[in-house]
Structure 1
Amino acid sequence: MLLAILVIAFAIAPVVLLAEAVAALLGRDRQAVVAWTSSMVMGLVILAVVWHFGLGRLQALPRSLGMAKPRGSPVVVILLAVAALTGSLVLTGLYTILVRWLDAGLLTPPEIQGDIVFTGLASLMSFFAIAVWTPITEEIFFRGFIIAGLTPRLGPWWAMAVSAAIFSAFHLNLGVMVPIFATGLILALLYHRTGSLWPGIAAHVGQNTLALLGAMYGV
């Protein structure tokens, strides 16, 4: 478990450097190229790590990592996913208002710049990478893989808290650590309640989609 987390952590810098190199080679849309390349490659690294340390070495089944049908009726599951998304957005908004009121500086979440999204039809590539691919791979790793690995030793509640803390730390920005921790905890609770990553993936996709739309239209 620890080795898998370290592999992901040490992969961040090379992935960013690769993304910057691709952007320099193309010579245009630097921010969008970096965002797309780093999201796609990091997702592949995550899946490779999960495969090697989970599905391969431990011979775990995808179901044990949360890739299963949600428990409960579809209506309840949908309502829970919507509630998780709403709760995450509300807590993030309240946190942002508070730290701005306190003029907390480094604790203020950075604004997402619109230039991380390609223009025209190419914007679909950005939305796929950031709002679909990233949520899927992050949920598989931070909720499915990490919680499955920690629960036997820590129990479900501490496993969820630790997974949320790791999820927050991996974003490498003081301004988002608190709201990302809250989001990670909400998504972990959703996973615990439904027994499936899919509702959390849906909520995560919704949050990233809204963030990209807000960046594009200056909301």
Structure 2
Amino acid sequence: MIPLEFAALEWKQTASGLWQVENGTNPGLAYSLIWLVWALASLSGLVLFLVFGFSSRFNYERWRGGVLTIRDVTFYFAWLQLTTMILMLASELLGVSGNGWFGLILPYLPHGLMILCALWLFKGRLSELDFRRMGAKETGFAFVAVIAAYGFTYFFLDPLVTNPVAHWFNLELGSWREESISEGINQAAKMGLLSVGGQILLIGVMGPIAEEILFRGLLMNVVARRMGVSIALIVSALLFACSHADVSYMAPLFVLGLLLGGLYAVFRSLWVPIFFHIVNNTASVLFDLFR
């Protein structure tokens, strides 16, 4: 889906000569045909997945134990795709895709599915995703590392990475994704404290847990076993940046992915990048609320 998301973006040149990248509202016939082919291929794959699943009595899903492999990642994505498609169809049929509080949480429900699929498929095997407890001393070092990493992102990421890269490629530093998130937070603020708390939970906590399970616990873990930690670190950071489909902030997202992967590689516990990710996202939500 990542190439499709990038293909849907619209590039507009501003009066100052900079390129502004926005989420396209009318991607055109060519994109629609490509999307239709992708949708039909995905649907066919899911049908075959369910047919063979029933014929094998879902033997894989009942199996527990062993070392994390590409097969585990494949089944995870298959179930994630299936549950996401069911969610999309249900929201369309019920006509609740953009109404009230449900419209606020709908964009983040896939994160919930990412967590639920992991808890179900890896029940009793969460240690393979490196949900590992750490001793008091190691926890102290991890806490200091997280604070240092956040200090870098807060004080140095923009002047050292974001702004120079945007200047180099003549990009306008406006993010349709960030604006969409800010609009949701502002709308939640108008609806009351409960809605604000929900946004903090969804963006600040659930999103980081889901993304770290996917990009570090699964992808980086499996790639590291086959190609080494260095390659896995770069691949997971690149996929993390691309998954946000935000051209203007691609470089800082890549660096953020490197920081998250570095924390995971050093401490070998998924809780450390999750903690840093939660700190980063929650701080962003609070800044949006109080600015």
TM-score (norm 2): 0.60
Structure 1 residues 196 and 169, CA gap change in structure 2 (3 angstroms) = same
Gaps of 5+ in 2: 1-69
Q: Which has the higher helix share?
A: 1
Does the residue aligned with 2:133 lie in a helix, a strand or coil? coil
Structure 1 residue aligned with 2:132: 68
* Number of residue-to-residue matches in the alignment: 208
Q: Deviation digits for residues 50-72 of structure 1, max 9, x if unmatched? A: 3576x27xxx8211212111364
What is the CA distance between 1:108 and its match in structure 2?
Answer: 5.1
Q: For 1:205-216, list aligned pairs within 5 A.
A: 205-216=278-289
Q: Counterpart amino acid of 2:163?
A: I
What is the CA distance between 1:195 and its match in structure 2?
Answer: 1.4
Write the distance in 2 (CA, Å) between the matches of 1:101 and 1:123: 35
Structure 1 residue aligned with 2:248: 175
Write the distance in 2 (CA, Å) between the matches of 1:18 and 1:116: 22
Question: Which structure would you say has the larger Rg?
Answer: 2
Larger relative contact order (Cα-Cα within 8 Å, sequence gap ≥ 6):
1
What is the CA distance between 1:201 and its match in structure 2?
Answer: 1.2
Structure 1 residue aligned with 2:157: 92
Structure 1 residue aligned with 2:96: 22
Q: Counterpart amino acid of 2:129?
A: L
What is the CA distance between 1:36 and its match in structure 2?
Answer: 2.2
Q: Deviation digits for residues 139-165 of structure 1, max 9, x if unmatched? A: 111111112211111111111111111
Q: Deviation digits for residues 82-128 of structure 1, max 9, x if unmatched? A: 11222233453223333555572266545445331212212001100
RMSD: 3.1
What is the CA distance between 1:19 and its match in structure 2?
Answer: 6.8
Structure 1 residues 22 and 52, CA gap change in structure 2 (3 angstroms) = same
Task: Tell me which of 98, 102, 113 is aligned to 1:45.
Answer: 113
Write the distance in 2 (CA, Å) between the matches of 1:16 and 1:179: 30
Gaps of 5+ in 1: none
